Amino acid sequence: MTTPLASPVEKYALIDGRRLAYVDFGGAGIPVLALHGHFGRARMFAPLAAALAPAYRVVSLEQRGHGHSDGGDFSREAYVADAAAFVRHLDLGPVVALGHSMGGVTAFQLAARHPDLVRALVVEEGGACNRRPEIPHPVLDVRAWPRRAATLHELRSQVEARGIPDASYFLESAVEHPDGWGFLFDYADMMDSQQALVGDWWADWLGSHCPALFVHGLDSFVLPTTMARQMAERRPATELRELPGCGHWAHDDDPAGFARAVRDFLDSRVKSGDMPRTPGGSYDPGTWAQ
């Protein structure tokens, strides 16, 4: 049973001179830093936040170049630096770092590069390797997408006519401008950001030792099941939850199943007790090995 939340309010943080939007779903529970994927919005985590409350407080960062956050450098280092600075700015750490797709990569890179800030990982469809041939289509070419449309319905129709079966996820970033309906994200920025995500990130995935959950939609056209299983097998203290009938956006395809998987993991691996640390500050992988 989910706990009703008040309508979340978008807030802003000034991080190193950059304005970053975020949504704090509130509460006094264990902090969860939620990171959306490419083309996403912070508010997409509202259903999950309701399902996890009040034990967990979801704070969703609108990553650079998305929604109402400033853009700029779209390197992996810049995304991770934003996340680390944001956690410190709000004094949230150590957090559960949770991310979808690109946000999932940011989450596990944050854990590897700033282990003092992350107590556990939840990664949905964020691959340890994002390049051909492992990933058939690592970049979605949006350069020919419509800049403006007369109505939201027309914007949806034009995007779906370009090979997107269901544009609902993207339309979370659609707003009405003075000259018609369009997206908040810049197409050239999104192409640069996607290109920066192309690469081999296995070292980062294997570079942290906190408990981790990997959520994979078995019908995903983005992440192969073989990679999801390899990621769980190769990293100690990692659980794999496969959701049948779900694709790359498993949290939308089965919100209840996704929330249940996350809640079960957090309750058993985070809420249930203290996680022992090594003298260097990171979590002891031997304690949490499967």
Tell me the helix, strand and coil percentages in the chain, rounded to 5: 35, 20, 40
Question: What does the pLDDT look like over 135-194, one tens digit per residue?
Answer: 989 999 999 999 999 999 999 999 999 999 999 999 999 999 999 999 999 999 999 999
User: Which residue did the predictor score with more confidence, 88 or 8?
Assistant: 88
Buried b (16+ CB within 10 A) or exposed e, 8-46: beeeebebeebebbbbbbbbebbbbbbbbbbbbbbbbbb
81 to 22, 114, 131, 183: CA distances (angstroms): 16, 9, 23, 25
pLDDT, residue 8, reads 77
Q: Is the dihedral of CA 115, 121, 124, 128 positive or negative?
A: positive
**C-alpha neighbours within 13 Å on the C-beta side of residue 262:** 30
At position 121, the amino acid (one-letter code) is: L
pLDDT of 111 strictly over 80: yes
Report yes or no: 114 and 95 within 8 Å, Cβ to Cβ: no
DSSP 56-81: EEEEEE--TTSTTS-----SHHHHHH
Domain assignments of the chain as residue spans, ordered by start: 10-137+198-288, 139-185
Q: Stretch 263-272: mean pLDDT, rounded?
A: 92
CATH class in words for 10-137+198-288: alpha beta
The sheet that has 18-24: what strands, in order across it?
10-15, 18-24, 56-61, 30-35, 95-100, 118-124, 212-217, 238-243
pLDDT, residue 271, reads 81
Q: Stretch 235-251: mean pLDDT, rounded?
A: 97
pLDDT, residue 115, reads 98
In three-state secondary structure terms, 16 is coil
CA distance 269 to 229: 20
Question: What does the pLDDT look like over 38-86, one tens digit per residue?
Answer: 999 999 999 999 999 999 999 999 999 999 999 999 999 999 999 999 9
pLDDT of 4 strictly over 60: no
pLDDT, residue 109, reads 98
pLDDT of 116 strictly over 80: yes
pLDDT of 279 strictly over 70: no
Q: Stretch 243-268: mean pLDDT, rounded?
A: 97
pLDDT of 118 strictly over 60: yes
pLDDT, residue 172, reads 95
* pTM summary value: 0.91
pLDDT, residue 31, reads 98
Give the chain's mean pLDDT: 92
pLDDT, residue 119, reads 98
The proportion of the chain whose per-residue pLDDT surpasses 70, expressed as a percent, equals 91
Q: Which residue intervals of 144-254 are DSSP H helices?
A: 152-160, 168-171, 187-197, 202-205, 225-234, 250-253
